[in-house]
Amino acid sequence: MQNKVTKAIFPVAGFGTRFLPATKSIPKEMLPLVDRPLIQYAIDEARAAGITDFIFVTSRGKSALEDYFDRAPELESALAENGKQHLLDRLKQTEMGSGTVAYVRQHERLGLGHAVWCARHLIGNEAFAVILPDDVIDAETPCLKQMVDAYATTGGNMVATMEVAPEATSAYGILDVGPGSGPTLSVRGMVEKPKPEVAPSNLAIIGRYILRPSVLTHLDSIKAGAGGEIQLTDAIAREISEKDNVHALRFRGKRYDCGSKSGYLQATVAFGLQDPELGDEFGAYLAEVMAARTDDPTDARQVQLVR
Ligand code: G1P
């Protein structure tokens, strides 16, 4: 029986430059998909996997994120006075218990590996999860829960993976895996952001990890790698060479890259269509837009609408 995974690290210190100017004053993790910020999707997924301790690696300019996890007593009493019980219930669902949230600061943006390493004193000698909130995964069984279930058999370290277009490898950590056709693969090597001509495969790491505490020890001495940054991928690769205990799970679900504008818009459409209150109306609107585009594909305004 493996140790239970109860702690998760959420690296949220990035600038979010792809969403400027919005991210000049709003942390990108606070951008909403319909009505819930990206970070809420990550937290809900963590909770569904049994995570009870939430560690956020933040930086300057992220106070909106810290406020988000606080109670808002004035707002709650105003809602109660106005009989808005359904909104109060919605707030209640996102409440974090006292003492379950911790923040550590990343003083310098030195890379994902460095961000995770900043949380080392809060982890101790136990396995932990890492969730990158940019990667939003829509799945019947939440992705991290699928991983925790697979990890119960494999132990060691585990990353989530999916196939990406071969020309896209330089945007991801890429895996070299052993033979096998099941969802759980044994990982022989991993390399951060390789050019397609040298990539060992087109299986990309997606932002969900279950890691041994020894990865944090590797991060003590890992040198800057791809992009001049301290890479988590390089620390996990060291686990492979020393202990050969890394697995990858081909998760079931659809991943949206909400770190990119296009992925963010796609997720907005997908979650908008799934919304019980909005879905029908929104779907009808999208159908109308698409039909108008088919009627007159050269109409510049329509083309702009659907691109
Ligand atoms: C990070 C990781 C990379 C992984 C990706 C998934 O890269 O370093 O290995 O494939 O997340 O989203 P980033 O997107 O932060 O450049």
Query: What is the per-residue pLDDT across 148-163, written as a single tens digit (0 to 9) for each?
Result: 999 999 999 999 999 9
What mean pLDDT is predicted for residues 180-209? 95
CB-based contact 277:35 (threshold 8 Å): no
Neighbouring-strand partners of residue 32: 37
User: What pLDDT band is residue 70 in, cutting at 50, 70 and 90?
Assistant: confident
> If you measure from the C-alpha of residue 280 to the centroid of ligand 1, how many angstroms do you get, rounded to a whole number?
35
Please tell me which residue, 159 or 15, carries the higher pLDDT value. Answer: 159
Residue nearest to atom 7 of ligand 1 (CA): 172
pLDDT tens, residue by residue, 18-46: 999 988 889 999 999 999 999 999 999 99
Report the percent of the chain where pLDDT is more than 70.
95
Report the percent of the chain where pLDDT is more than 90.
73
CA dihedral 205, 36, 100, 139 (to 10 degrees): -40
Q: Kindly tell me if the per-residue pLDDT of 301 is higher than 60.
A: no
Measured from CB, residues less than 6 Å from any atom of ligand 1 are: 112, 132, 135, 172-173, 192, 204-207, 231-233, 259
Q: Kindly tell me if the per-residue pLDDT of 307 is higher than 50.
A: no
Tell me how far apart the alpha carbons of residues 291 and 299 are, in angstroms, rounded to a whole number.
Answer: 12
**What are the CA-CA distances from residue 302 to residues 63, 134, 174, 270, 273 (Å)?**
39, 29, 38, 20, 20
Q: Kindly tell me if the per-residue pLDDT of 240 is higher than 60.
A: yes
Maximum alpha-carbon separation in the chain: 63
Place of tokens 């109670």: 71
Tell me how far apart the alpha carbons of residues 221 and 240 are, in angstroms, rounded to a whole number.
Answer: 16
For a mutational test of ligand 1's pocket, the pick from 18, 131, 132, i.e. the residue with the most ligand atoms closer than 8 A to its C-beta, is 132
What mean pLDDT is predicted for residues 106-117? 94
Q: Kindly tell me if the per-residue pLDDT of 214 is higher than 80.
A: yes
47 burial type by CB count under 10 A (0-12 exposed, 13-18 middle, 19+ buried): middle
For a mutational test of ligand 1's pocket, the pick from 57, 176, 205, i.e. the residue with the most ligand atoms closer than 8 A to its C-beta, is 205
pLDDT for the residue 2: 53
What mean pLDDT is predicted for residues 89-103? 89
Place of tokens 């989530």: 160
> If you measure from the C-alpha of residue 285 to the centroid of ligand 1, how many angstroms do you get, rounded to a whole number?
34
Tell me how far apart the alpha carbons of residues 171 and 108 are, in angstroms, rounded to a whole number.
Answer: 22
Q: For the chain, how big is the Rg over CA atoms in Å?
A: 21
What mean pLDDT is predicted for residues 231-239? 96
pLDDT for the residue 299: 60
> If you measure from the C-alpha of residue 78 to the centroid of ligand 1, how many angstroms do you get, rounded to a whole number?
42
Please report which residue ranges of 32-160 form alpha helices under DSSP H.
38-48, 63-68, 73-81, 85-93, 112-117, 143-154
Tell me how far apart the alpha carbons of residues 12 and 15 are, in angstroms, rounded to a whole number.
Answer: 9
pTM of the model: 0.92
87-101, 127-141, 241-255: which range is least confident on average? 87-101
Work out the end-to-end distance of the chain between its first and last CA atoms, rounded to an integer number of angstroms. Answer: 50
pLDDT for the residue 234: 97
Residue nearest to atom 15 of ligand 1 (CA): 112
> If you measure from the C-alpha of residue 14 to the centroid of ligand 1, how many angstroms do you get, rounded to a whole number?
12
Q: Right CATH number for 7-256 from 3.90.550.10, 3.60.15.10, 1.20.58.220, 3.40.50.2000?
A: 3.90.550.10
The conformation of residue 252, written as its DSSP 8-state character, comes to S
User: What pLDDT band is residue 304 in, cutting at 50, 70 and 90?
Assistant: low
What mean pLDDT is predicted for residues 201-206? 97
CB-based contact 130:56 (threshold 8 Å): no
18 burial type by CB count under 10 A (0-12 exposed, 13-18 middle, 19+ buried): middle
> If you measure from the C-alpha of residue 287 to the centroid of ligand 1, how many angstroms do you get, rounded to a whole number?
34
CB-based contact 127:5 (threshold 8 Å): yes
